[in-house]
């Protein structure tokens, strides 16, 4: 199952679910056609998306918002803190291409502060799935929690895992 398929299935079960994006459709490319009445693309307007999500949440909807992690957490930080975090609204924020994954675009696209910023918001859950499988398992639980949540989206395989790492515990780095 893909992340897009999971969101579609969850939307069928949860009429309050609204999928939003700030022109970041890579993982949810097919959803506009599958969820035409519950898919909103605001364009490159992360602050607008977060403000809209807060308004939708106040009206009983449960938005799940997608944007590049660096722009979602930095550009829209005040909106996330004031409109979602402080009132403890059930908005899920999904930051894609986290860390140094966007190396070709340079430092403006590298989300290295996202976790620190989101952890500083009282009541904000921060979820960093290791791989696609953890992401797929986490999303229904996150929605059930009804808490504001930041998800660091990564659908690939963990780069640090190798056959040796899977079969043996990592070596200790602490002095004995």
Read off the pTM.
0.84
Most confident of 121-125, 134-138, 163-167: 121-125
- Determine contact, residues 153/127, Cβ cutoff 8 Å: no
Question: What share of the chain in percent tops pLDDT 90?
Answer: 65
Question: How many Å apart are CA 111 and CA 86, to the nearest integer?
Answer: 23
Maximum CA pair distance of the chain?
Answer: 60
Q: Determine how β-strand 62-68 pairs with β-strand 17-21.
A: parallel
């Amino acid at each position: 199952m893909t992340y897009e398929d999971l969101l579609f299935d969850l939307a069928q079960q949860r009429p309050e679910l609204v999928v939003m994006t700030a022109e970041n459709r890579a993982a949810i490319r097919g959803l506009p056609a599958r969820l035409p009445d519950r898919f909103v693309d605001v364009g490159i307007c992360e602050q607008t998306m977060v403000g809209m999500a807060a308004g939708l949440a106040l009206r009983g909807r449960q938005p799940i918002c997608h944007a590049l992690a660096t722009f979602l957490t930095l550009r829209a930080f005040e909106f996330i803190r004031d409109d979602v975090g402080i009132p403890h609204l059930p908005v899920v924020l999904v930051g894609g291409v986290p860390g140094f994954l966007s190396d070709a675009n340079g430092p403006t696209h590298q989300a290295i502060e996202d976790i620190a910023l989101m952890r500083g918001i009282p009541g904000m859950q921060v979820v960093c799935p290791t791989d696609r499988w953890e992401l797929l398992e986490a999303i229904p639980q996150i929605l059930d929690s009804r808490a504001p949540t930041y998800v660091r989206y990564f659908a690939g395989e963990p780069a640090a895992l190798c056959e040796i790492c899977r079969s043996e515990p990592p070596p200790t780095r602490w002095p004995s």
